[in-house]
């Protein structure tokens, strides 16, 4: 499971908007799990979430943090 979450975060590191479906397909996590992950990250301002379009992107600050580790 951790590897799949890592794959989802790796994909989001580019700072671009990605659909929940795209993230789900590339990480091989079910869409409901991606929604849980994105809601959690959004609650702590690590991720911007467009609920209407079902798209997400990492915040600039969190993207920079991930690039450093």
Q: Specify the pTM.
A: 0.87
pLDDT at 1 over 90: no
8 burial type by CB count under 10 A (0-12 exposed, 13-18 middle, 19+ buried): buried
Q: What's the whole-number mean pLDDT along residues 47-68? A: 94
Condensed to tens digits (0 to 9), the pLDDT of residues 9-54 reads 999 999 999 999 999 999 999 999 999 999 999 999 999 999 999 9
- Name the CATH code of domain 2-68 (choices 3.40.980.10, 1.20.1250.20, 3.40.50.720, 1.10.10.10): 1.10.10.10
Judge contact between 51 and 30, C-beta under 8 A: no
């Amino acid at each position: 499971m951790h590897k799949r979450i890592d794959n989802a975060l790796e994909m989001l590191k580019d700072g671009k908007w990605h659909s929940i479906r795209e993230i789900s397909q590339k990480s091989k996590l079910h869409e409901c799990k991606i929604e849980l992950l994105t809601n959690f990250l959004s609650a702590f301002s690590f991720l911007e979430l467009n609920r209407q379009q079902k798209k997400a992107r990492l915040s600039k600050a969190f993207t920079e943090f991930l690039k450093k580790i």
